[in-house]
């Protein structure tokens, strides 16, 4: 099977790809292992967003390889895991990744921004099979909307799904967006979803990304053409699993003062990039860019996004839901306030069935 999944969602779908592609664990000759390390070093030097770090990491891996560090890692799975561990330690970047994906092929022509009709069709199939990143929508008691987003795919694929989800939740008095299991994705899709959360005509510059390979910075703005919008109280759930594009969405909401983050400090990965073939069935994710927030001038790399309300991830839904009810009740009339008070009582008694949470890390 030829895997040409677009780089923007390749890392976000890492658990699914790993399950699909690492079932075989063939032997890898020592000479092939050395060639993979050489190719990885070249990719780091030529593409990694911080050239000095890329050179240092490449040198560290080459030295380990020549010293025999991978001599006992003779199978594809063992070698990929060992190389991935050393790569992340050398580069100090959780986006750095190595996997054995024998069917992987880069976009035709080698340009990560251009794809054939076949590649786009395959991406659409992969996106549809994963619900366009939307795991669940629900209308919770008290008229609180709930949206669980697991990854951000390219906007041309997910935009209709986001519009449909927001239409389902239209009329909610408050909203909870759950990013606790979000592994990242396309920054353009982050902007697309954020567009639904600002009033018509309120256009925001929410993020910029510097790309080393192009030596330019691209700005990401909310989309004026989005139809369905929600401007009420907003709460965003985070966990230490929340990563990359998921973190960006949380950071954007926080820096634009649009909502309240509830949960755990996120994973700390702000350097987007691309999949690079290394030969012999191996591929690496190499960060080629870095996020630059227009408000703070920096990003969440290494430090994560710190929520305003810090609670364990498995308590975040209950905490956010309680705060959503309080926000609704604050502006409600007597009859509506009494209704919300009843929901709050059921919440306090543990009689509400709220959306659950399972740490995706447990499945890795």
Q: How far apart are CA 203 and CA 193, in angstroms?
A: 13
pLDDT of residue 4: 36
In this predicted model, what pLDDT tens digit does every residue of 69-81 receive, in sequence order? 999 999 999 999 9
Question: Hunting for tokens 């502006």 — which residue is that?
Answer: 331
pLDDT of residue 110: 54
Number of H helices, E strands in the chain: 11, 12
**Cα-only R_g, the chain:** 22
pTM of the model: 0.91
- Which of 303 and 16 is assigned the larger pLDDT? 303
Q: 152 vs 37, 62, 135, 157, 220, CA distance in Å?
A: 31, 35, 12, 10, 14
Q: How far apart are CA 208 and CA 71, in angstroms?
A: 42
Q: Domain ranges in the chain?
A: 23-100, 125-273+287-350
Q: How far apart are CA 217 and CA 189, in angstroms?
A: 17
Section 312-331 average pLDDT: 98
> Which tokens is 266 given?
């996120």
Which CATH number is associated with domain 125-273+287-350? 3.90.226.10
Instruction: Find out whether 141 and 348 touch, Cβ atoms under 8 Å.
Output: no
The per-residue DSSP string of 206-260 comes to EEEEEETTTTEEEEEE--TT------S-EEEEE-SS--THHHHHHHHHHHTT-SE
Q: Pseudo-torsion of CA 260, 269, 134, 175, nearest 10°?
A: 0
Q: Count how many Cα atoms sit within 13 Å of the Cα of residue 242 in the half-sphere of its side chain.
A: 32
pLDDT of residue 5: 42
**Quick one: pLDDT band at residue 346, thresholds 50, 70, 90?**
very high
**What are the DSSP E strand ranges found in the chain?**
97-100, 134-140, 144-149, 174-178, 205-211, 216-221, 234-238, 260-263, 273-279, 282-287, 289-292, 309-310
**Kind and range of the H or E run holding 31:** helix 30-47
Computed over every residue of the chain, the mean pLDDT equals 91
> Which tokens is 295 given?
């408000």
Q: Is the pLDDT of residue 113 over 60?
A: no
């Amino acid at each position: 099977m030829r895997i040409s999944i677009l780089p923007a969602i390749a890392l976000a779908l890492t658990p699914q790809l790993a399950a699909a592609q690492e079932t075989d664990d063939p032997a890898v000759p020592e000479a092939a292992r050395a060639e993979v390390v050489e190719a990885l070093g070249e990719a780091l030097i030529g593409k990694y967003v911080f050239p000095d770090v890329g050179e240092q990491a490449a040198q560290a891996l080459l030295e380990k390889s020549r010293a025999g560090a991978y001599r006992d890692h003779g199978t594809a799975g063992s070698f990929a895991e060992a190389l991935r561990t050393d790569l992340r330690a050398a580069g100090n970047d959780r986006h750095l990744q190595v996997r054995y994906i024998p069917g992987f092929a880069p976009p035709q022509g080698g340009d990560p921004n251009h794809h054939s009709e076949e590649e786009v069709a395959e991406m659409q199939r992969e996106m549809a099979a994963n619900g366009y990143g939307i795991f669940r929508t629900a209308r919770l008691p008290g008229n609180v909307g709930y949206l669980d987003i697991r990854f951000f795919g390219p906007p041309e694929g997910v935009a209709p799904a986001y519009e449909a989800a927001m239409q389902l939740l239209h009329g909610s008095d408050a909203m909870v967006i759950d990013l606790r299991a979000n592994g990242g994705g396309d920054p353009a899709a982050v902007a697309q979803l954020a567009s639904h959360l600002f009033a018509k005509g309120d256009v925001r510059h929410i993020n910029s990304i510097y790309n080393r390979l192009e030596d330019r910075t691209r700005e990401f703005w909310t989309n004026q053409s989005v139809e369905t919008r929600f401007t009420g109280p907003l709460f965003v759930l985070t966990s230490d699993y929340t990563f990359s594009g998921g973190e960006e969405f949380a950071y954007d909401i926080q820096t634009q003062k649009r909502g309240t983050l509830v949960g755990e400090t996120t994973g700390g990965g702000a350097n987007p990039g691309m999949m690079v073939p290394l030969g012999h069935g191996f591929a690496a994710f190499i960060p080629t860019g870095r996020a630059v927030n227009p408000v703070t001038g920096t990003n969440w790399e290494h430090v994560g996004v710190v929520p305003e309300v810090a609670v364990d991830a498995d308590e975040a839904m209950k905490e956010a839901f309680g705060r959503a009810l309080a926000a609704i009740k604050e502006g409600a009339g007597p009859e509506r306030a009494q209704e919300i008070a009843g929901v709050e009582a059921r919440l306090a008694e543990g009689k509400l069935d709220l959306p659950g949470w399972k740490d995706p890390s447990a499945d890795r």
